[in-house]
Structure 1
Amino acid sequence: MRPEETSAAVKPAVVAMGAAFGDDPSFAACAERFGFGTDRWPLYFGGRAGVLGAVPAEVVGAACGFFGPELVGPAWAAASRTGRLGELVQADVGLCARWAERHLTGLDRAADLTTRVVEAADASGRVLFAAWRAQPEPDDRPSTRLALNLLRLREHRGSSHLGAVIAEGLTPVAAILAGPGARKARANGWRGPYPEPSPEDVARLAAAERRTELLAGQAYAVLDREQRVELVTLLDGAYRRWRGSGSA
């Protein structure tokens, strides 16, 4: 199993479980405690991008990549007005750790392997990944370490994909329209009307997906083949159990 094949194989676990705590009811409750009401986006961007500090909304939009400015701007402004970006980040970490305690226990080996991958990964051009890697661990539980590693690898993959999309001549919104489609574009705050993706854009997105695996896969080269197979097996099992639990 080559590193790029490992990246593709762990994609479901990394993408889904690396952000699963954001769909937990506790996330919405936390947003209300910070005074955001039923709007989850200030906590989403404040928690995710608060690791960058008090930067302009344009910087947050550039780092997150696939969200429209009409969504990022107001949400980041609301998060920034609290004057508590650091607390929003720590709230995010706490929610992630509590989610992990329910879903990722008994996976000490996966925590160790993903730690090696995260530590070896190249942070070049991956600002959110670098910032999250610099965040200290809140506790020494393997479940917490694994959950935060999945979050970090999700950021590493997301930045890799953003770079691949741009390298193939697509804009982020064009990539969304060529893949998930208009509903996803709308959910991510991009304003319509939404043009039909051209065959060329669909082909460019397919090429970007292949490039993404090459870029994201570089991090897994720190493991030998047997360890990569082991990691895939462990994460696939964790993902299947989580999906089967009805919590996904």
Structure 2
Amino acid sequence: MKWLNNERGNAAIFMLWLLGIVAIIFVLTINIVKVYIVKEHSSLSAEQAALAGTAVLIENTAQAIENYERNPNYLLIREIHELAEGKSYSEQIEDKKNQYLSSGSDESTAYIKAVNEVLTQERLIENGFLKQELRRELSETKAGAEALVRSAVMNVINSNHARTEDTEISFSLDKWRVEVESTVRFESVSDNKYISRFIEDIPQKGYGPTLAYMENVYASGMNFPELPEEESE
């Protein structure tokens, strides 16, 4: 009977030890899964922030084209360009956008591709008035473009609970896109005994689509042809 009692005691100790090992493995597994989740969260936050920043530049591009086409001071020069090309810039962009939409592109991607095709270097050098409007809305410098998108980027970073203090925004003059680097804080799960609690900020980068036409906006030199005078009666 004494021997049976010892066996039961040893079995109980073994079970406690086994449960402890299982608990440690469970906590480690949770932390590994949590790392991947936080990493994906960080990546998604940076990607969404870069897209939000890109959206600001696209909205300002559309506004600049609208300003140009509504400004009565540019009426005669617009008529000259439209006569040569058959359509206004906004109409050309709309046509190109619809072509991309019909081939399966989403709305924003189709618009960006269309603008990249229509706002060529040749057109913007030839038409300094349009380029001037684009520069007013988009800024003439890399630093200006970065400042322009900052508010939209930070709003997304905040809403995703990423760390604003670790967020860096840049406009690449190589890729011609908005780039965002940020972090999300990882806090480990601890058993308060064998596994210590630790905190780490996980960095990830997000990239917006290429805005190739921005290179033409930034390019130096603008041609301001003389506006033709209206014939007097």
User: Is TM > 0.5 for Structure 1 vs Structure 2?
Assistant: no
Comparing both structures, which one devotes a greater share of its residues to helix? 1
* TM superposition score normalised by structure 1: 0.28
Comparing both structures, which one devotes a greater share of its residues to strand? 2
* TM superposition score normalised by structure 2: 0.29
Greater C-alpha radius of gyration: 2
